[in-house]
Structure 1
């Protein structure tokens, strides 16, 4: 459970960096003013954590199935199709967040989602290496 929470926080950080770099990514709430609750720093952090949670669930449940089904095309493209899969997971996260009070929007799938997928992958890889979340202990057998 602890690893999942760390992954959600890493996802939130990666989404925040991607939304800062790419103007086509936005996170907002459906409150009265259309902004993150209270327009405060805490509200913004909670919004990114909420979307990071949705993104983590999508990556845990849907992504393995999509990766398995797209294995032949991923093999033919020497792994580059993985970027498209990651972009599709972002799009699915955006669609699912439409049913929550916090919305994650992507303006154009082809460019913004693909660039965001690259940024999020790089940030997640670096943050995962710094936190040690991706390391497996040989003594624990995991």
Structure 2
């Protein structure tokens, strides 16, 4: 349970940083309490998308992983962020990614920030 909470909170912080840095990622909630709830909710949606859909996409794109030496991972992460934005819109969350390039840059920032936070807050049981 501790692993799930740490991972969700680090993803929420990473999404917040990406929304702060990248101009095409919008977090339009008013007030810091509403933004906090929205970011945690988006992090939960992001976690579900990465848990359910990302392994299937990676399996079907295995030849591309070999061909691009793993660089297709950045594109897949951007697509997962776009899918999170789409799902967040249907859940009436104030989170939107406006295109592929902001999603690509945002997924890179989210990966780096969440990696750094996982290193800082080691969550091994």
TM-score tier, shorter chain, comes to over 0.9
Q: Which runs of 5 or more structure 2 residues have no equivalent in the other structure?
A: none
- 1:40 counterpart residue number: 31
- 2:61 counterpart residue number: 70
1:91 and 1:116 mapped to 2: Cα distance?
A: 10
User: Offset of 1:40 from its aligned partner?
Assistant: 2.0
Specify which of 44, 48, 71 is matched with residue 57 of structure 1: 48
2:34 and 2:95 mapped to 1: Cα distance?
A: 14
Stretches of 4+ moved more than 2 A in 1?
none
Q: How does 1:21-40 map to 2 (within 5 A)?
A: 21-28=21-28, 36=29, 39-40=30-31
Secondary structure of the structure 1 residue equivalent to 2:69: coil
1:2 and 1:41 mapped to 2: Cα distance?
A: 25
Relative contact order, higher structure (CA 8 A, sep 6+): 2
Secondary structure of the structure 2 residue equivalent to 1:26: strand
Q: How many residues align?
A: 125
Q: Which runs of 5 or more structure 1 residues have no equivalent in the other structure?
A: 29-35, 138-142
Instruction: Name the structure with the higher helix share.
Output: 2
Structure with greater Cα Rg: 1
1:131 and 1:60 mapped to 2: Cα distance?
A: 21
